[in-house]
Amino acid sequence: MSASTIKGKKAQSSSFQFDAVVIGTGPGGEGAAMQLSKAGKQVAVIERHESVGGGCTHWGTIPSKALRHSVSRLIEYNANPLFNDADRSRHLTFSEILKHAGSVIREQSRLRGSFYDRNAVKIFHGEAAFVDAHTLKVTREDGSIDHITAKQMVIATGSRPYTPGDIDFSHPRIYNSDSILSLKHDPKSIIIYGAGVIGSEYASIFRGLGVKVDLVNMRDRLLSFLDAEISDSLSYHLWNNGVVIRHNETYETVEGRDDSVILHLASGKKMRADCLLFANGRTGNTDMLNLSALGIKADSRGQIRVDENYKTEVDNIYAVGDVIGYPSLASAAYNQGRFAAQAMLSGTCPSSLVEDIPTGIYTIPEISSVGKTEQELTAMKVPYEVGRAQFKHLARAQIANTQVGSLKILFHRESKEILGIHCFGERASEIVHIGQAIMQQKGDANSIEYFINTTFNYPTMAEAYRVAAINGLNRIF
């Protein structure tokens, strides 16, 4: 393809077809492409799939959260005598509730595609591989090849589920967190191997559908990075709903049969279910990029090392999102893309991710937290205090019948500075942002007393902050 065949609204360098090419159209790639385009650069993106949006839209964040929402509403329906006064609960299969997720995916992909059209960013569909630091080979599905040149490149290829070679993922009853979205039958039981965020979320989803769930955890507690009380709350809620959690276990072999899957554990135990979901880690999508042509070497998890400006070892090549590791969040990836674009434009990145990145875990109920945990503050010998609000005491939660859960505020005993917000319950991922906004303020503006002196709408879930603040300040003597 010659430079003369590339048309666009902006002028580009005479020696390259584009000023910048972004590989991947997930949140990180989109953030970079939009920022560069709005700065007047001629930009192209390369997407290996037929629709834009990346793994976040098609296999990860959007479908799993849409599934979770549908199952949560089903649970509410079956528990509410106002709508369901029959003797039998309403039952929906996984594939039936997946239809709602499909419509959300299509709408999100259509919307994201319109952003590229509006900003005159050209989309190439195909598999990208580096020829050199300024040239990419793009192989289309029909086997035809384009060569694209650009002054600067951004790697935003995301990640995929880790799939060990000794497990047959082509077996019709063995799934990873991407292929589970193609589940067609209605299992009565499932083994979920891996009790991280993805495994815990799917444990909630399948249990909400009435499926018998065995959750295998390699560690001694669920989601050990969380505040211990929140982790314990999730463990209790899953246990109370019938999920069997097996801690400190690792698999030895996975045996796929015509009618079931048998998981052989290293401890000698054997487990049997209709199907198995393997959800133990993810790998960066870098192995197909021919990074060796650049002298860049990804680590064992397919991740690329970058500096504070998101620049790789090669001066004109940047990387953002899951391929650079922590925090591996869609929300953070979008900002990383924007920040990398700023560095590409000016040489340095004037912005950075906020220090306290919120965690949102879409189990049923949700979990969200930002800042320090009690365990971290204790180890740091920080004199903190705790303020709590139980959702069952809030009028809004009583009205909505979402009384499971609580809000916990950690704050400094002397300065009243907010140190951590931890929430377990319906809409936790929304509720946490109120506390996050105050935590980000400087000096006296970051104080738990803000929640005492501010009037909240009544009834709301936000009122939990006032209740928790009063509860915490009453502990000060």
> Binding site residues, as ranges?
47-56, 65, 157-159, 194-201, 281, 322
Binding-site residues for FAD sit at: 47-56, 65, 157-159, 322
Helices (H), 328-388: 330-346, 374-379
Among 358, 359, 420, 356, CA closest to 384: 420
* Distance, CA of 187 to CA of 209 (rounded, Å): 10
Among 97, 64, 76, CA closest to 203: 64
* Distance, CA of 150 to CA of 52 (rounded, Å): 21
* Distance, CA of 319 to CA of 333 (rounded, Å): 10
Among 53, 193, 47, 22, CA closest to 115: 53
Q: Please classify residue 65 by burial: count the beta carbons closer than 10 Å to its beta carbon, then call 0-12 exposed, 13-18 middle and 19+ buried.
A: middle
Structure tokens at 122: 């050209």
Angstrom CA distances, 396 to 79, 160, 203, 458, 462, stand at: 18, 39, 27, 8, 9
Structure tokens at 106: 């299509």
Interior angle at CA 366, CA 418 and CA 158, nearest 5: 95
Radius of gyration of the chain (CA): 24
Helix, strand, or coil (residue 180): helix
Binding-site residues for NAD(+) sit at: 194-201, 281
